[in-house]
Amino acid sequence: MPERGRAWRAAGQALAYALFAAFVGFFAVRPAWTHLGPGEAVVKVSIVHRGKPLGECRERSEEELARLPPNMRVKVVCP
């Protein structure tokens, strides 16, 4: 009896994988969607506004820099 249950479980798992593969395959090729028509283009412009600093910028001392991890060692700090 346990052999039969194992076979049903394997068949169910194979069916689930096949259904998932069919689902992914369908949506990989079926939806015919184009972003833009021929002869069209999009220009995107991104603008960043930094705003006012909260305080004066200052230079860190060599001692402060030595205590920081290498990736955090920035000479000038602006709050």
Whole-angstrom Cα distance, residue 7 to residue 42? 55
Neighbours of 45 (CB within 10 A): 4
pTM: predicted TM-score of the whole model, two decimal places: 0.39
Tell me: pLDDT of 33 over 70: yes
Q: Which pLDDT does position 19 carry in this prediction?
A: 98
| Percentage with pLDDT > 90 across the chain | 57
Q: 35-71 pLDDT, tens per residue?
A: 788 889 999 999 988 788 788 999 999 999 999 999 9
Whole-angstrom Cα distance, residue 77 to residue 79? 6
Tell me: pLDDT of 23 over 90: yes
Of the candidates 53, 71, 54, 73, the residue with the CA atom closest to the CA atom of residue 63: 73
Helices (H), the chain: 2-29, 62-67
